[in-house]
Structure 1
Amino acid sequence: MISIARNNLSCLFSNPNSYLCNPNVLSFHFFSAARAKRFIIPSPEIYDVLVHNHQFSPELAAHASSRLPKFRSPERADSILSFLKENSFTTTQLEKLVIHNPRILGFTIEGFKSRLKVFQDLGLSSEEIAKIISSNQGILHSCMASKVIPSLSMLKALLGSNDEVARLLKKCAWFLTHDLEKTLMPNVEILKSCSIPIERILHFLYTNPRCFLVKPDIMRKSVDGAIKFEVPQTSTAFIYAVAALSHTSEGMWEVKLETLRDLGFSDDDIFTMFRKQPNVFSASTKTMKNKIELLLATGKYNIANIVSNSTALGRSIEKRLQPRLQILGLMESRNLIQQWPSLSRVASFTDDRFFERFIRPYYDKIGEENITKIFGGRQKKIDL
């Protein structure tokens, strides 16, 4: 049954601009390109404005100013950056905008004001607007009349209010630079055709927004895959199964399956876990493998336990699994417990409940120093 979905999945849409979120990658990519074009001479005037007036790094400033051979107005650049700073853009955000396309240094303040007003009318704060625009620099270069405003209108028609549109954009600004008529709207219709209530679809839109920006054929294949895995369409798990499949290319899906098989899971085990907790399959193969190996290494939990309590694979190693397993191992070594709690309890109990149930009775014998060492500043202060 596992193999039925292997040939039906294609790659999730790729984001060609995702490297813009990483300053180190930014530097490597653009500065390597700059070195390859040594004939382009940086504008010393623009460089001076960027570095001394607005605290850009010298490397970013040199590269940005070298990409403006026809624009030599330091006054305009200074006024634009000052205006954006007055509207809550940080230096880091400004660097992202300028390195993405230095032409914004030639924009007029009036042009910027008209763009910002569109977002202000949604009720967004200046800080929120700065975050949205800097997370998707293409917004500044998209036509407001033919792209941004129609997208906002479609979102409002779907979500019902400006407040809800603003809420979505704070989650994912890419809705303003994608063709929603070719992505979002048909994907919503595909899910509706599965008898999924619109309320659940909209909730899913807020929690997994980029899933709705894939091509409809990917969404359709993901829906078909979830159906073939026999995930009930009336369940919440169905929509998370669609998300997991749409975020995983066919090749990576096969790698994930082979990794689980190598760890000792049968195809029926994998099938069962996917039906129960498809969202855990959204994690990377490495992350899943690390969690499984951590649990198996205790000698207290086996494959069957993990299959029965696959929610454990959705928990954080650093914040939940590792410290709890470590404290239980310490307690066992001191003969404070004879039997470890079930994996369900270890994975699902809140911090408060876990401390009250398993640590409080032995607090003095474990020692506050050990608890602090294992849990850091997250340990519960217990009054004895």
Structure 2
Amino acid sequence: MLRLRGRIVAHLLSFSSTSGPAISPLHRLLSASAAAGSISPNPGGFAVEEYLVDTCGLTRPQAFNASTKLSHLKSPANPDAVLAFLAGVGLSGADVAPVVAKDPQLLCAKVDKTLAPVVDGLTGLGLSRSDIARLVSLAPGGFRRRAIVSRLHYYLPLLGSFQNFLRLLKRSSHLLSSDLDKAVKPNVVFLRECGLGGCDIAKLCIRVPRMLSTNPERVRAMVACAERLGVPRGSGMLRQALQAVAFRSEEKIVARLKYLKNTFGWSDAEASIVVRRYPAVLGKSKESLKCRSEFLLSEVGLEPMSIAHQPVILSLSLEGRLRPRYYVIKFLKENGLLDGDPSFFTAVKMTEKVFMEKLISPHKEAAPHLAEDYATACKGEVPTNFIFRWTRNRL
């Protein structure tokens, strides 16, 4: 009998892929089935674990773990109503299992007193049926609390869009349970006082979700750390600096500065210049920094001071931009095809379109395969092959 109930509810859930509200028809079908006696409760008690497997699609281990939180259920009436409601807001049968496994107590929520008012409130905020379904999938625990509406009423304008909210929610499952009045709002107010606009705050919080929910004193400490590194409040680099120092100890930041100086041969003053102009360098991996150092200093032959005064070069892809463009310039110089003498910095900072127009396209006749070889090099393949091939062809 329980398996028959599972087939019926699963059939109802399959209707969720059709357009338009499906809540009322599903409730009617469930009621009709119940009235007919086809899905009456087990006289010996409600077998929760079997219900989770047969009706919700959980694996046996998932059902065993979830059933401990549902032991108080005496019948499938409320879970059936919840499943029907979820189908109505767009969750398919395949969506139900991970949602219930993540938050089994969703099956205990009251449709009329909680879930329906939540959906009405979210719809009033401009969320579509598919938006709500995605929200349920990501945060079923938050969805069964009516406070979710007021929280989204605050977060959506702050983050700029529902898509940004979802990106943040994926990175921080605690977003919907964070204390708005004691943590989130004070942190946002302080960041605005430091000169960050709405867009910067959204980008910062998406990259560092804990920045919103942490103790406001910790956020103040991070700003103070950025200031000690030479990035003051009001600076256009403050967001990057906060991303770089967020939740890092003073010892780790000092150690990273020491590594930068040793790796690139910078003085204290030069390292300070780099951090002020490109704070994100503090967040780059040691392997990435070492590879860039070896290429820029040993292969290209740049001076440490030159890199320090144009540190944006450290943000560019080594294999996808720096190395391929260097070899193009090298090839053009060696073969007498270069008009003028653009610096390496100038070449790598060009947009792709300008680089092609200035340094690739003018040499179609003299080096007809240069564009193809450059494209190959941009994929990370060894670029020296085309240099020697073109030298031989030219000779």
TM-score normalised to structure 1 length? 0.66
Residue 46 of structure 1 corresponds to which residue in structure 2? 52
Asked whether the 8 Å contact 1:311–1:347 carries over to 2, the reply is: no
Residues 234 and 320 of structure 1, relative CA distance in 2, 3 Å threshold: same
Asked whether the 8 Å contact 2:222–2:246 carries over to 1, the reply is: yes
Residue 62 of structure 1 corresponds to which residue in structure 2? 60
Residues 309 and 115 of structure 1, relative CA distance in 2, 3 Å threshold: same
Asked whether the 8 Å contact 2:160–2:199 carries over to 1, the reply is: no
Residue 143 of structure 2 corresponds to which residue in structure 1? 140
Deviates more, 1:274-283 or 1:70-79: 70-79
Tell me the CA shift for residue 245 of structure 1: 1.9
Asked whether the 8 Å contact 2:106–2:141 carries over to 1, the reply is: no
Deviations 1:111-164 (A, max 9, x none): 4333333322211233333444444454235x324xx344345557x85xxx94
Residues 192 and 50 of structure 1, relative CA distance in 2, 3 Å threshold: closer
Residues 362 and 130 of structure 1, relative CA distance in 2, 3 Å threshold: farther
For 2:191 and 2:149, the matched residues in 1 are separated by 25
Tell me the CA shift for residue 91 of structure 1: 7.7
* 2:105 counterpart letter in structure 1: R
Larger radius of gyration: 2
For 2:299 and 2:328, the matched residues in 1 are separated by 12
Secondary structure of 1:233 counterpart: coil
1:172 equivalent in alignment to 2:168: yes
Residue 358 of structure 2 corresponds to which residue in structure 1? 357
Residue 24 of structure 1 corresponds to which residue in structure 2? none
Secondary structure of 2:201 counterpart: helix
* 2:119 counterpart letter in structure 1: L
Asked whether the 8 Å contact 2:274–2:308 carries over to 1, the reply is: yes
Tell me the CA shift for residue 87 of structure 1: 3.6
Tell me the CA shift for residue 270 of structure 1: 1.9
* 1:201 counterpart letter in structure 2: G
Secondary structure of 1:182 counterpart: helix
CA RMSD of aligned residues (A): 3.9
1:345 equivalent in alignment to 2:346: yes
1:246 equivalent in alignment to 2:249: no
Tell me the CA shift for residue 77 of structure 1: 6.0
* 1:248 counterpart letter in structure 2: R
Asked whether the 8 Å contact 1:331–1:366 carries over to 2, the reply is: no
Asked whether the 8 Å contact 1:296–1:302 carries over to 2, the reply is: yes
Deviates more, 1:112-121 or 1:221-230: 112-121
1:208 equivalent in alignment to 2:204: yes
Residue 15 of structure 2 corresponds to which residue in structure 1? none
Secondary structure of 2:59 counterpart: helix
* 1:47 counterpart letter in structure 2: V
* Equivalence map 1:1-384=2 (5 Å): 43-51=49-57, 61-67=59-65, 68-69=67-68, 70=71, 80=82, 84=86, 87-89=89-91, 96-107=98-109, 109-110=111-112, 111-140=114-143, 143-145=145-147, 148-152=148-152, 154-155=154-155, 159=158, 164=160, 166=162, 169-173=165-169, 175-194=175-194, 196=195, 200-209=196-205, 210=209, 211-263=211-263, 264-317=265-318, 319-325=320-326, 327-328=328-329, 331=332, 336-337=337-338, 341-364=342-365, 365=367, 367=369, 368-375=371-378
* 2:226 counterpart letter in structure 1: A
* 1:355 counterpart letter in structure 2: M
Deviations 1:327-373 (A, max 9, x none): 44555666645998434334432221121122112345151542442
Q: Which runs of 5+ in 2 are unaligned?
A: 1-46, 380-395
Sequence identity of aligned pairs in percent?
23
Deviations 1:151-199 (A, max 9, x none): 345557x85xxx94646524423543211222222223433544x2xxx
Deviates more, 1:102-111 or 1:241-250: 102-111
How many equivalent pairs are there?
317
Asked whether the 8 Å contact 1:87–1:126 carries over to 2, the reply is: yes
Query: Relative contact order (C-alpha < 8 Å, sep 6+): which is higher?
Result: 1
Deviations 1:185-243 (A, max 9, x none): 2223433544x2xxx43222221123333321221112212222333433312343233
Tell me the CA shift for residue 323 of structure 1: 4.1
For 1:42 and 1:340, the matched residues in 2 are separated by 76
Asked whether the 8 Å contact 1:76–1:105 carries over to 2, the reply is: yes
For 1:326 and 1:86, the matched residues in 2 are separated by 59
Deviations 1:9-61 (A, max 9, x none): xxxxxxxxxxxxxxxxxxxxxxxxxxxxxxxx99355324455xxxxxxxx62
Deviates more, 1:261-270 or 1:317-326: 317-326
Residues 270 and 137 of structure 1, relative CA distance in 2, 3 Å threshold: farther
For 1:280 and 1:92, the matched residues in 2 are separated by 43
Q: Which runs of 5+ in 1 are unaligned?
A: 1-40, 52-59, 377-384
Asked whether the 8 Å contact 1:291–1:317 carries over to 2, the reply is: yes
Deviations 1:53-109 (A, max 9, x none): xxxxxxx62332121142697887677557546544578865553332233345455
For 2:283 and 2:123, the matched residues in 1 are separated by 35
Residues 230 and 252 of structure 1, relative CA distance in 2, 3 Å threshold: closer
For 2:160 and 2:262, the matched residues in 1 are separated by 45
For 2:90 and 2:342, the matched residues in 1 are separated by 50
